[in-house]
A and B are shown apart, each in its own frame.
Chain A
Amino acid sequence: MSVLRLTTATLAKDFRLEWRSKDALNSMLFFALLVVVIFSFSFDPNAEESRRIAGGLVWVAFLFSSVVALNQTWAREVRNQVLDAYRISPAPSNALFLAKVIGNFLFVALIELLTTPLFIAFYKLRAVGPAWQLFPVAALGTWALVVNGTFFAAVSIRTRSREIMLPLLLFPISIPAIIAMVSATTAILTAEYSARFWIVLLLTYDVIFTVACLLLFETVLNAE
């Protein structure tokens, strides 16, 4: 079977499982909602200030929510020995990895779509710059978090305290991506400078780490 067909098959399996239980989706949505509400209690800025800080707040909220999602990526597979089966099967492991990344991406993107209106309402946000640029920034930023997050989740399931290991690995490596996402979002909201440089940086980050993940995933999966 081709990589594409394997990827779609794994993706469909994950979605079917998620659709039946809706465990992760419900808990994630509620978690993201809580983050938004708590943030709005912690900061009570006026419209001008909120434009400056919203980029950081939004992305920190998404970062924490995505860690919750990413931690669950491999939990089910480990419980049911799917990974062992995958190691034995001749299927390319990158198909499994891609399916997981795309699944997480769609998942986190859905959460972002549902919580962004809340942010806009609570912080009375209005973009002064070109608002359409927020879409590429969101897509590239989410991909940056999710591609490394899925990889490091696969690394941290091999350790003793897996839940805490993922953010310990993911956050330091993601620092350039987080700087780029936050700066790009702030640039668009305040229109004080151009977001183009940051979007290019995010794109570079995504390309470099997607390639690195695809090259190293098989090694990590088969690590004895």
Chain B
Amino acid sequence: MKRIFPILAVLTGAFLSYALYLALVVAPTEQTMGDVQRIFYYHVPSAWTAFLLFAINFVASVVYLVRRNPAVDAIAVTSAEVGVVFCTIVLITGPLWARPVWGIWWTWDIRLTSTLVLWLMYVAYLILRRFSTGGQTPVIAAAVAVFAALDVPLVYFSIRLFRTQHPQPVIGSGGSIDPRMLHVLLMNWYAFLCLAALMFWSRYRLEILQQQLDEAEGLESLEMRSPR
């Protein structure tokens, strides 16, 4: 396993470079927005990756509450952390796109705001994990993750009433996206997924090692205290 990791890292790097080339050179220039529209090839794949990771976090949290398996908890914390990283990219590239296109940095639009709220909730989740001490951390973190997931549809509906300014979804609802653009978008998404998987893997291994270390240290202090 250890020898595969560098190979995969190099492959992912190559794939990401190819996707970057596609996004900057190959993809056709959008007619109304111009080159700025190319932010789309980073913005949207990051968003999808982040949402996927948050979904994994929800499933892992529910499974943890039922099964109490430490490996599942490691999956939960890993997906939340990597998800926050990609969500941060969404929130930074979004305004950089909005400014030249709409003339404003931020608008209280439904998807922007929902993503911001999602980011806030998972940052709070990570802070909770950092501040919490001892063996109860996974349980209370899983409970909070379930609450965050329950909140998502409510956030969506509560913001929906405000007028939405975001470009309508281009995929799914009979979108009129250029097939070449769609190809570049999907390639970038696959590249981002590979990168996210690599990050996930190394963060997960770190968490497992940390768990083992904590266990060994606990044993150690027990042995020291017991009379020899």
A and B touch in the complex (CB under 8 A): yes
Binding site for B on A (CB under 8 A): 148, 151-152, 155-156, 158-161, 165, 168-169, 171-173, 175-177, 179-180, 183, 197, 201, 204-205, 208-209, 212, 216, 219-220, 223-224
Contact mask for chain B residues 65-106; partner A; CB cutoff 8 A; 1 contact, 0 none: 100000000000000000000000000000000000000000
- In the complex the two chains form, what is the Cα distance from A131 to B66 in whole Å? 46
Least distance between B217 CB and chain A CB atoms (Å): 18
Contact check, B135 vs A224: say whether CB atoms are below 8 A apart.
yes
- The interface stretch among B32-40, B151-159, B201-209 is B151-159
Q: Could you give 8 example pairs across A and B, Cβ below 8 Å?
A: A151-B147, A159-B132, A165-B131, A172-B148, A176-B159, A201-B154, A212-B146, A220-B143
Contact check, B157 vs A169: say whether CB atoms are below 8 A apart.
no
A176-B151, A201-B158, A223-B136 are known; give 15 further A-B pairs, CB within 8 A: A155-B143, A155-B144, A158-B132, A158-B136, A159-B132, A160-B132, A165-B127, A172-B148, A173-B121, A173-B148, A176-B155, A176-B159, A212-B150, A223-B139, A224-B134
Chain A residues whose C-beta falls within 8 Å of the C-beta of B131 in the assembled complex: 159-161, 165
Task: Pick the residue among A169, A204, A212 that contacts B128 (CB under 8 A).
Answer: A169
- In the complex the two chains form, what is the Cα distance from A168 to B128 in whole Å? 9
Least distance between A196 CB and chain B CB atoms (Å): 12
B63 within 8 A of A: no
- In the complex the two chains form, what is the Cα distance from A168 to B131 in whole Å? 12
- In the complex the two chains form, what is the Cα distance from A117 to B131 in whole Å? 40
Task: Pick the residue among A160, A169, A201, A208 that contacts B144 (CB under 8 A).
Answer: A169
Contact check, B150 vs A209: say whether CB atoms are below 8 A apart.
yes
- In the complex the two chains form, what is the Cα distance from A204 to B143 in whole Å? 20
Chain A residues whose C-beta falls within 8 Å of the C-beta of B143 in the assembled complex: 155, 216, 219-220
Chain A residues whose C-beta falls within 8 Å of the C-beta of B24 in the assembled complex: none
A176/B146 contact (C-beta < 8 A), A158-B132, A223-B136, A224-B136 known: no
- In the complex the two chains form, what is the Cα distance from A171 to B117 in whole Å? 10
Residues from 137 to 178 in B contacting A, C-beta threshold 8 Å: 139-140, 143-144, 146-148, 150-151, 154-155, 157-159, 161
Contact mask for chain B residues 32-68; partner A; CB cutoff 8 A; 1 contact, 0 none: 0000000000000000000000000000000001000
- In the complex the two chains form, what is the Cα distance from A216 to B64 in whole Å? 13
For B, the interface residue count at a CB cutoff of 8 angstroms equals 28
Chain B residues whose C-beta falls within 8 Å of the C-beta of A165 in the assembled complex: 127-128, 131
Contact check, A208 vs B140: say whether CB atoms are below 8 A apart.
no
How would you classify the secondary structure of chain A's contact residues: helix, strand, loop or mixed? helix
Contact check, B157 vs A159: say whether CB atoms are below 8 A apart.
no
- In the complex the two chains form, what is the Cα distance from A82 to B219 in whole Å? 30
Q: Which residue of A lies closest to B136 (CB)?
A: A223
Contact check, A223 vs B151: say whether CB atoms are below 8 A apart.
no
The 3 closest A-B pairs by CB, nearest first: A223-B136, A223-B139, A176-B158
Least distance between B170 CB and chain A CB atoms (Å): 27
Task: Pick the residue among B128, B154, B161 that contacts A197 (CB under 8 A).
Answer: B161
Binding site for A on B (CB under 8 A): 65, 117, 120-121, 124, 127-128, 131-136, 139-140, 143-144, 146-148, 150-151, 154-155, 157-159, 161
- In the complex the two chains form, what is the Cα distance from A62 to B136 in whole Å? 31
- In the complex the two chains form, what is the Cα distance from A208 to B151 in whole Å? 9
Chain A residues whose C-beta falls within 8 Å of the C-beta of B140 in the assembled complex: 155, 158, 220, 223
Least distance between A127 CB and chain B CB atoms (Å): 21
- In the complex the two chains form, what is the Cα distance from A224 to B137 in whole Å? 9
Chain A residues whose C-beta falls within 8 Å of the C-beta of B127 in the assembled complex: 165, 168
Q: Which residue of B lies closest to A204 (CB)?
A: B154
- In the complex the two chains form, what is the Cα distance from A22 to B62 in whole Å? 41
- In the complex the two chains form, what is the Cα distance from A208 to B155 in whole Å? 13
- In the complex the two chains form, what is the Cα distance from A205 to B155 in whole Å? 10
Chain A residues whose C-beta falls within 8 Å of the C-beta of B151 in the assembled complex: 172-173, 175-176
Task: Pick the residue among A159, A173, A183, A204 that contacts B147 (CB under 8 A).
Answer: A173
Contact check, B124 vs A172: say whether CB atoms are below 8 A apart.
yes
Least distance between B213 CB and chain A CB atoms (Å): 20
Least distance between B76 CB and chain A CB atoms (Å): 15
Chain B residues whose C-beta falls within 8 Å of the C-beta of A169 in the assembled complex: 124, 128, 144
Chain B residues whose C-beta falls within 8 Å of the C-beta of A180 in the assembled complex: 158
